[in-house]
Amino acid sequence: MHNLSELQQDALLEIFNVSIGRAASAMSDMVSETINMSVPAMQFLTRKEAGDILDLKGRRRICSVAQGFAGSFSGEAVLMFPEENSLEIVRMMLGSTIPLAHLTELEQDALNEVGNIILNSCISAFADIFHEQFDTTLPEVRVGSGMEAVGVNAERQQDGVLFLHIQFGFQRRHIEGYVVFLMDMPAFANLRTGIDRFLGLIPGNPG
């Protein structure tokens, strides 16, 4: 549906990895620990397929941070963790070892900050491709199923999403997370065109 050529995928993945590297540096400074982050996999899926991956057949809840963006095209970027992973990151942000049964306001603020850093870094990948600034909304924490996180309903199961698998490497732990870009069909078409301009495959690359 939204398949890119191998060259387009490689270019987009490389740009995301550079952007995620910037986020890792910023987070390392915040927690005083070296963090390595990478995007080992990128897929175009339907919302239903993305929700199934996140839910693992309904066995876990997802903590997510959502942020809208607008520029040459608009959409929503959503950072997602299985609940236990999000709490682990919050513990590191707050310097706390106390088990967290649920997200308090302070903990939500910490998760919001993580989301703000990572999502803005991912959205900057689009800014690099299109040579423009994308406006963003304030991040918002949500807790629920994977299906809820990607907005699956009867009418939108087959809508396309750009699905990034992100690996977080800490000194003594390894955490998996995901970023999903919710965009409509024209946005995906604009993205493909922007990548081609970035690669110099079509004229009009903005300078």
Tell me if 204 is assigned to some domain. Answer: no
Number of structural domains found in the chain: 1
- Read off the CATH number of the domain in which 77 is found: 3.40.1550.10
Tell me if 58 is assigned to some domain. Answer: yes
Nearest in space to 122 (alpha carbons), one of 65, 158, 88, 79 = 79
Secondary-structure breakdown of the chain: helix, strand, coil percentages, each rounded to the nearest 5: 45, 25, 30
Tell me if 207 is assigned to some domain. Answer: no
Q: What is the pLDDT along the chain (207 residues), one digit of tens a residue?
A: 467 889 999 999 999 999 999 999 988 888 778 888 999 899 999 888 998 888 875 557 888 999 999 998 899 999 998 877 777 777 777 776 555 555 677 778 888 988 999 999 999 999 988 889 999 999 999 888 888 888 877 677 778 899 999 988 877 778 888 999 998 888 888 999 999 988 987 665 544
Tell me if 126 is assigned to some domain. Answer: yes
DSSP state of 157: T
